[in-house]
Each structure stands twice: as C-alpha cells, then as structure tokens.
Amino acid sequence: MKKQLLSLAVLLVSTCTFAQDASLLRPPKGATVALIVFEDLQCPKCRSDAPLEEQAAKAHKIPLIRHDFPLPMHNWSFNAMVMARYFDSQSKDLGNQFRDFIFQHQPEITLDNLQSFAQKFATDHKVQMPFVLDPQGKLAAQVNADKELGRKIGIQHTPTLYVVSSRNPSRPFVEVTDTSQLFQIIEAMQSQ
C-alpha cells in the first residue's frame, strides 16, 4: 500500500505544476472536487482537450468550470467568448454548447465569418440573437474578469487545467500538465 501511495505521489508531482494564488482555485459550493479550465476558443489545444475534460467531469461526477482566457495572438476568440456569455445568459448549458460548437468549427472560423457561425447556432437552438450583442459591455466585462482571474493565478497558456479539492487544505489544487494522467489525478484528489 505504501508503495502505491508513493507511486501516486510521484505521478502527481511529475505531471503537475502549481498556481501562484491557491485561494482563487476552489470547487463550487456543494462540490468537494472540480475541474477548472482556462481556455481560449481559438486555441487548437483547447479544442482537442475539451472533449476529454467533459468526459472526465462526467465520469467522475464532478463539475467542469470553464473560464475565458483569450490570448492576444488570436483575433476572434474574445468576440466568440462574448457571444458565449450571451448564450450563458440564456442558460449555462446553452453557453457551453456554443463553446463546443465553436471548438467543433474552429478550423473554419475567421474574424469575418464568426458572426454567421453564431447566428447559425442561435437559429439551430431557437434563440434570437440581438442586433447589438453587448451594448453596455457587460458581457465583455465578464470575459475580462475571467482573464484577470487567470492573470492573478499566473496563467501563461491555454488550456490550463486544474483539479481542485476542498478535502485537503494543504494541497487544494493540482495543475494538470499531462492530460493522459487526468483521470488518475481526479481519482487521487477524490480519495484524499
């Protein structure tokens, strides 16, 4: 048993790094373990990791918390995130479906055709897109708040994925740097 625990500890340390400010990474109320991801809707790695993150959250019955972290080199991701926030305002599930839709079509999307993809999604889901999406800048402020949270934590890249737990105050979160270890890390955090 000690050998297994030692192996698990080595695995966790070898596949993880730590955020700068642990107090900002917590499971939502009512959950003891959660996945938190900072993502950019134009990031190819975010696109490829998103299904695995969703699968892991469902398999372990834990929440998946998605935060916007638009990277400066991506010319349409911020706008897509504002659109996702609009769909969040209709329902959080619809917002996440939109994010998945954008990931699915990411290779086809450009700054010039992003609006038509959003309109197609809205039409398919029987949601009316407003003529002016964010006239007061409230949705953009939500995206910027997520980005600021990421900066406070020390996010340097996307996706950045954390397994967070309220069970072990001395080690409340682990950054997953090797997604092939994601399920094992979740299980280790759940067993603490």
Backbone phi and psi for residue 140, each to the nearest 5 degrees, phi listed first: -60, -35
Q: What is the DSSP letter of 22?
A: G
pLDDT given for residue 7 in this prediction: 39
Domain count, the chain: 1
Q: Residue 17 — left, alpha, or beta (φ > 0 → left; ψ -120 to 50 → alpha)?
A: beta
CATH of the domain at 186: 3.40.30.10
> How far apart (Å, rounded) are the C-alpha atoms in residues 97 and 127?
13
Write down the pLDDT at residue 3.
Answer: 42
For the CA atoms of the chain, what is the radius of gyration?
18
Query: CA-to-CA distance for 122 and 116, rounded, in angstroms?
Result: 10
The per-residue pLDDT for 17 is: 41
Q: Contact, 188 vs 8, CB < 8 A?
A: yes
The pLDDT assigned to 6 comes to 35
pLDDT at site 168: 79
Peptide bond into 159 cis (omega under 30): yes
Each residue's pLDDT, cut to its tens digit, for the chain (192 residues) gives 444 433 344 344 333 444 455 567 889 999 999 999 999 999 999 999 999 999 999 999 999 999 999 999 999 999 999 999 999 999 999 999 999 999 999 999 999 999 999 999 999 999 999 999 999 999 999 999 999 999 999 999 999 999 999 887 778 899 999 999 999 999 999 988
List helix spans (H) across the chain: 2-15, 44-60, 77-90, 92-105, 114-124, 138-153, 182-191
Residue pair 69/158 in contact (Cβ under 8 Å)? The answer is yes
- Per-residue model confidence (pLDDT) at position 20: 52
Domain limits for position 73: 2-191
- Distance CA(156)–CA(185), nearest Å, equals 21
Report how far residue 4's alpha carbon sits from residue 107's, in angstroms, rounded to the nearest whole number.
Answer: 43
Taking a C-beta distance cutoff of 8 angstroms, is the pair 26, 20 a contact? Answer: no
Q: What is the DSSP string of 32-58?
A: SEEEEEEE-TT-HHHHHHHHHHHHHHH
Residue 23, pLDDT score: 62
C-alpha 122/C-alpha 130 separation (Å) is: 10
